[in-house]
Amino acid sequence: MLLNGRIEEFQRYSNFKSLKDFNNNIEMFLSIYKKEFTKSEFIAFNRLRKYCAKVIGVANASIKTVLAGIQDKDTAAGVSESTFKRMKRKAVKLGILTIEPTQRNNKSQSTNLWIFNRFVSNSNKIDPPPTSGEGRKKPEQKEKVVDQLAPLETGHSIYTNLHNINNHLNTRSFKYIKFVPKIVNQKYASLFQHDLRKIWTRVTSACKQAKRTFSDVRISKTDKNEIGLVAIDSLYRYIVERNKKNETMPLDEQCSIVYSVTFSQIEQLKVCQDPIFQDVNKEKLLNDEKHSLIVKMLE
């Protein structure tokens, strides 16, 4: 059993290179599995995420601390310990979370070590966190991990083969889709064609819902366009992974993914306002392609 200590001592268990990498992975999980959680369980899940700033994707906060944070920051009614434990069991079963028990110097049981896993696109198996002789077995064959939100190369041959993903996707040029911003049209009109309008509608719906949920968040048109581009980039990468397995993705599922990623992007504005993030270097966030937008919006 691990010996508990300062969270910095568990750096080797982090599966992520940056906050952007961590949040992108969680967004991909939630685009598929968010419906598995009740509203209270999802609040508990999100609060646990917010304790993963110092060592990205790893926390050693006690359940009592997380529940107190929910009552103080999220909802005055709070959530029960049994609700948190249901969330924990679901997250472990779905492969989102790995839990390692820890002990004190006197061998008594201490808090759990909460380890968020990476999203793996082509298997239900999840890459376990790296170990240093802690007794965990590594899988014989490591699954390929999605490289999310990497810069898109429009000259890549995949663009000429996207008609194989879904019947409604092909490379015929569309100059303009109504009710979709010009910057989004320029990048995605020829790819998604008229379905882009419905996809962008889900970006708009997520922004409106986020404004209702987080009343102090202000989102300009420019911010909305940038957030929407990140969401559609995530969708594109996910479709490519499906294409590698010769699987199609229905339009409704595409819209669901875009909605979830957009909402999560805006939710990070609230995350950055939490005291737990005060120790995160602002300059580091500014150098992060996605979080630079968040920092700019907070100023």
| pLDDT tens by residue, 223-274 | 888 888 988 988 888 888 888 888 888 888 888 899 888 888 887 755 554 4
Query: 104 lies in a domain?
Result: yes
210 has pLDDT over 90: no
Quick one: 188 and 226 in the same domain?
yes
Quick one: 204 and 252 in the same domain?
yes
pLDDT at 270: 57
pLDDT at 84: 94
- Looking at 261, 277, 292, the residue that finishes a domain is 261
Quick one: 173 and 245 in the same domain?
yes
Choice among 138-147, 191-200, 242-251 with the minimum mean pLDDT: 138-147
At 288, the pLDDT band (50, 70, 90 cuts) reads: low
At 222, the pLDDT band (50, 70, 90 cuts) reads: confident
pLDDT at 121: 54
Quick one: 14 and 120 in the same domain?
yes
| pLDDT tens by residue, 55-86 | 999 999 999 999 999 988 888 888 899 999 99
At 173, the pLDDT band (50, 70, 90 cuts) reads: low
The residue among 259 and 154 whose pLDDT is bigger is: 259
In 93-243, the DSSP E strands lie at 97-103, 109-116
Quick one: 109 and 41 in the same domain?
yes
Count Cβ atoms below 10 Å from residue 37 Cβ, excluding itself. 19
- Residue 208 domain boundaries: 157-261
Quick one: 122 and 162 in the same domain?
no
Pair 127, 118: CB distance under 8 Å: yes
Quick one: 117 and 190 in the same domain?
no
Query: 272 lies in a domain?
Result: no
Q: Please give the average per-residue pLDDT across 201-230, as a whole number.
A: 85
Burial 45-65 (b: 16+ CB within 10 A, else e): bbbbbbbbbbbbbbbbbebee
Quick one: 108 and 186 in the same domain?
no
Query: 150 lies in a domain?
Result: no
Domain count, the chain: 2
∠ CA(63), CA(16), CA(81), 5° rounding? 10
| Burial of 160 from C-beta contacts in 10 A (0-12 / 13-18 / 19+) | exposed
Quick one: 161 and 254 in the same domain?
yes
CATH of the domain at 110: 1.10.10.10
Choice among 47-56, 93-102, 210-219 with the minimum mean pLDDT: 210-219
pLDDT at 169: 44
Query: 292 lies in a domain?
Result: no
Query: 284 lies in a domain?
Result: no
Quick one: 94 and 212 in the same domain?
no
The residue among 192 and 157 whose pLDDT is bigger is: 192
Share of the chain above pLDDT 90, in %: 24
Share of the chain above pLDDT 70, in %: 71
Pair 197, 178: CB distance under 8 Å: yes
Q: Please give the order of strands across the beta sheet that includes 2-3.
A: 2-3, 97-103, 109-116, 58-59
Query: 181 lies in a domain?
Result: yes
Quick one: 111 and 167 in the same domain?
no
Q: State pTM to two decimals.
A: 0.47
31 has pLDDT over 70: yes
pLDDT at 2: 84
Query: 288 lies in a domain?
Result: no
285 has pLDDT over 90: no
Mean pLDDT, rounded, of the chain: 75
